[in-house]
Structures are given as C-alpha cells and as structure tokens.
C-alpha cells in the first residue's frame, strides 16, 4: 500500500523560463455561473448585462464578463504557478480579444517569461503570461502577472502537468473583438446610466460613493466558483500555521479587483462597450472578511475615435474601511502607484490599483 501526499504549485527552482504549462482545468461556463457572478458584482456595463444590447452591437449573445474570464484564467493557473506563492504582485497587459459566450468551454496555459531570485535567497519573483482559450482555440483573455514564490528546492510529490507550445500569434492579441465595429450604429437606450465620454475631462477625479463589505462565506464561495485552489483563501488551519500574513483567510485578489471595478461601474462603465485593457495593476495590501471596499477613479487620458465613441483611460484604486473622500488632498496622492513611495507617502488603506482603458459611447 502506498501513502501519497501530492502537492501543487511550484517552488522557485521548479520554474523554467520559456516553458509553457497546460493547466488541467477544462470548464464549461454555464448560465448559473454567469448569473451568480453578475449578481455578486452588479457590474453596470450593458454589453455583459443585456442580451438585447449585446446582439444590437453584433454579438450573437451577451458575452461572458471580462472580469469573470480574468478570474478563471488567474485561478486555473494557480495549481501550476502560484499555489506555493506568498503573494500576487502585479497585473500586466490584460486584454480580451474575442467574446466568450455562455456554454463555451475554456482552458488556459501559462508561459514562463522570467524568474528573478530575491537577494534574501528564500523567495523570488516569477513572471508568466497566461492565455485563456475557448473550445475552438480562440483567445478570449490574455494577461501577464508576477507572483512572489518561495524558494527552497524543487517540490517533491508534485504531479507533473503536460507541457506544450503556444503559437506566437496567440501572444499578439487585439484589444477589440472584430464583432464590435467602431463604425456600427449604436442601439438607442430609453434609459441607462450617466457617465458618457464627453462627461469627463483629463484630470477629473471620481470618488465613488458606494461601498461593499466582503462576507466570509461569500468570498470563499466565489473563490471556489472560479476554481482558485490556493489554501490561503479557504483553509483556516493552513493560514494559522504561519502561511498567512494576516493569520486568517485572505480574500482572493481577483475578487477584490472585480468588486473595486464594479463599485466604479455605474459612474464610468454604464455607457462603456468593452474593456480595452488593464495595465500596471497591484494589490498593495490584503483584504479579509469583514473589510469594506470603496473605489475612486482618475481620468488619465481620452482619445476621440469617431462620432459615437471614444477611449477613456482611468487610474482605478480600491481602498478598505475608509471612504476615498477622506484619503484625497493634502500630501497624499491616492492615484500614484504605491511601489516606489516612501513610508510616509504610502496609503495604508489602499488594497488595489490598476490602469483601465474603456471604449465608451458619447452622449449624442
């Protein structure tokens, strides 16, 4: 009789620059998953909320929300990439080149871009690019991320996933689906949210007034929904054994990302058609059950692309247990990246930051 104790993820020494790891999850996104995700985040972007609106834009159905796809891609990669990680460090070049629909089946693979040991020798930074595809091989989400991973020798007892090659063309994904032509006549809307392209100027700051308190069972259920297998998010004994910097379960970062984006959505995305991409994202601090999240946005750039549409680039930040109104002004720069700040300049309440570019309709 054998006694097996399989382990997952990789230690720093297990990563090979250039290697591609095929993740084992193979998941059909059913209507129940879509409904639960939409109800949990209440995101206002109409392309993902309304089948009628999506079909008028040229899609065959309402697409799967971009942040659900990102969460699935991040979570699928955990088993092979970051189940031994200490922290998620960065989001880079996130884009959604093709629509994904209810009933589609998605898989993911990650290519190792780089491995950088820390001077301490006990950890290092792993940089990967993950590609999420549907059942016919179309890329529906692609992104890079960095994770802080423990060192200490190769992981004994880890199942070895298959390796594969990803064609280079999958790494050169567009930012806008072909179905969504910028010259299309946009559908009229008898009602809708505020926040058109022409309503904001570069430099404007929006302090979103709606908060969200994270429930304990809620964040664990949603972590399981997207197949994130890191015990830091749902195993209290693991966390109390010294594996959590908080001593308890930490809310999975992809959920924090989604809640912060959704808290801003009625003000910035209620007239958006598509997420053109995310850049320079990070989690400066962790979130635990009971924390209340708030969001704030700053307009970094605008680009007019026609009679009906334009691109708006925002710096989006999320804070916990304090309204953003109380954190702006004076010597505090809420929207500057925390990395590189001095201790006195840091915003301890900040839990998320990213640059987001949206395709947004004009008011007339």
In this prediction, residue 331 carries a pLDDT of: 79
Q: What is the pLDDT of residue 316?
A: 98
Question: What does pLDDT average to over the chain?
Answer: 90
Task: Determine how many CB atoms are found less than 10 A away from the CB of residue 325.
Answer: 11
Q: What is the pLDDT of residue 334?
A: 94
The single residue listed with the structure tokens 């009229």 is 188
Which region among 79-88, 177-186, 232-241, 333-342 has the lowest average model confidence (pLDDT)? 177-186
pLDDT of residue 158: 67
Query: Over pLDDT 90: what percentage of the chain?
Result: 69
For each of the domains in the chain, give its residue range(s) and CATH number, in order of start: 1-155 (3.10.129.10), 193-214+251-364 (3.10.129.10)
Quick check: 167 pLDDT over 70? no
Alpha-carbon distance of 128 to 130, in angstroms, equals 6
Assign residue 245 a region: left if phi > 0, alpha if psi is -120 to 50, beta otherwise? alpha
Q: Lowest-confidence range among 32-41, 169-178, 305-314, 328-337?
A: 169-178
Q: What is the mean pLDDT of residues 189-212?
A: 91
* Model confidence, pTM: 0.93
Percent of the chain past pLDDT 70, that is, above it, reads 96
Q: At residue 256, does pLDDT exceed 80?
A: yes
- What is the mean predicted confidence (pLDDT) over 114-142? 92
Digit-coded pLDDT (tens) for 53-95: 999 999 999 999 999 999 999 999 999 999 888 888 999 999 9
In terms of C-beta distances under 8 Å and separation of at least 24 residues, what long-range contacts does 299-303 make, across chains too? 299/200, 299/201, 299/202, 299/203, 299/204, 299/205, 299/206, 300/202, 300/355, 301/202, 302/197, 302/200, 302/201, 302/202
DSSP 241-307: III-TTSSPPPPHHHHHHHHHHHTHHHHTTTEEEEEEEEEEE-SS---TT-EEEEEEEEEEEEE-SS
Res. 164: pLDDT tops 70: no
Confidence bin at 255 (pLDDT 50/70/90): very high
pLDDT confidence of residue 178: 85
What mean pLDDT do residues 129-143 have? 94
User: Which range has the worst mean pLDDT, 7-21, 42-56, 315-329?
Assistant: 7-21
168 — pLDDT class (breaks 50, 70, 90): very low
| CA atoms of 108 and 71, how far apart (whole Å) | 12
How many whole angstroms separate alpha carbon 257 and alpha carbon 147?
Answer: 16
| pLDDT, tens digit, 9 for 90 and up, residues 10-31 | 889 999 898 898 999 999 999 9
Q: What is the mean pLDDT of residues 98-118?
A: 94
């Amino acid at each position: 009789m054998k006694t097996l104790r399989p382990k997952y993820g990789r230690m720093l020494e297990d990563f090979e620059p250039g290697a591609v790891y095929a993740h084992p999850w193979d998941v059909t996104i059913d209507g129940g998953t879509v409904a639960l995700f939409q109800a949990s985040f209440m995101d206002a972007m109409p392309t993902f909320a309304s089948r009628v609106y999506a079909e008028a834009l040229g899609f065959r159905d309402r697409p799967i929300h971009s942040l659900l796809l990102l969460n699935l891609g991040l979570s699928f990669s955990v088993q092979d990439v970051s189940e031994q990680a200490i922290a998620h460090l960065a989001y880079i070049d996130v884009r959604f080149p093709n629509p994904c629909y209810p009933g589609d089946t998605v898989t993911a693979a990650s290519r190792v871009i780089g491995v950088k040991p820390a001077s301490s020798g006990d950890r290092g930074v792993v940089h990967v690019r993950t590609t999420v595809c549907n059942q016919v091989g179309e890329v529906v989400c692609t992104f890079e991320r960095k994770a802080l991973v423990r060192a200490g020798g190769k992981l004994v007892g880890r199942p070895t996933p298959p390796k594969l090659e990803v064609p280079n063309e999958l790494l050169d994904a567009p930012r806008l689906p072909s179905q969504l032509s910028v010259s299309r006549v946009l559908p009229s809307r008898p009602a809708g949210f505020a926040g058109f392209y022409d309503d904001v100027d570069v430099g404007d700051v929006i302090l979103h007034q709606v908060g969200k308190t994270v429930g304990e069972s809620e964040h664990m259920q949603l972590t399981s929904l997207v197949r994130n297998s890191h015990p830091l998010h749902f195993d209290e004994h693991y966390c109390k054994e010294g594996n959590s910097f908080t001593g308890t379960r930490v809310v999975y970062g992809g959920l924090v990302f989604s809640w912060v984006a959704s808290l801003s959505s009625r003000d910035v995305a209620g007239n958006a058609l598509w997420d053109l991409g995310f850049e320079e994202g990070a989690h400066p601090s962790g979130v635990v059950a009971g924390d209340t999240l708030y969001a704030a946005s700053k307009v970094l750039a605008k680009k007019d692309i026609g009679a009906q549409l334009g691109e708006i680039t925002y710096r989006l930040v999320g804070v916990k247990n304090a309204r953003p109104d109380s954190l702006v002004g004076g010597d505090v720069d809420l929207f500057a990246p925390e990395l590189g700040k001095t201790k006195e300049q840091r915003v301890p309440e900040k839990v998320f930051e990213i640059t987001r570019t949206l395709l947004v309709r004009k008011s007339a």
